[in-house]
Amino acid sequence: MPKSLWVPIQMYGWVLSVLVLLSVLVFFTASDQINTLVFLPIGAVLFYVSDSLLAFDRFKRKLPRIRVWIMVTYHLAQLSLAWGFLASYGYRSG
């Protein structure tokens, strides 16, 4: 990894960690919507996993088929986050 990218990568990692922490806190503090808000921390964790896999692939070691796992976790994260945000604003399916 280039030394010039170390600080920005660390900052991005901290931002992602705060995203996961805040989504878990929102989930546990909103007791009236506990079933619909479960998608927020799930999406945040999946997004964290996706970016961690991407960083590992880019800066540590190339692994076979890791791109598939990056895409699967990324798209599941986006779906979960969108579903969780829409549910938190009152949009319900059905």
In which domain, by residue range, is 21 found?
Answer: 3-88
Q: How many domains does the chain have?
A: 1
In a domain, 73, yes or no: yes
**Amino acid (1-letter code) at residue 60:** K
- In a domain? residue 20: yes
How does the average pLDDT of the chain come out, rounded? 86
Q: For position 33, what pLDDT does the model report?
A: 59
* Residue 61 maps to a domain: yes
Mean pLDDT of 75-82: 94
Q: Is residue 94 part of a domain?
A: no
Structure tokens at 85: 């945000």
pTM for this structure? 0.80
Statement: residue 75 has pLDDT above 90 = yes
Q: Is the distance from CB of 27 to CB of 34 less than 8 angstroms?
A: yes
Does 93 fall in a domain? no
pLDDT, tens digit, for every residue of 30-64? 766 567 788 889 999 999 999 999 988 888 888 88
* Alpha-carbon span 18 to 72, nearest angstrom: 22
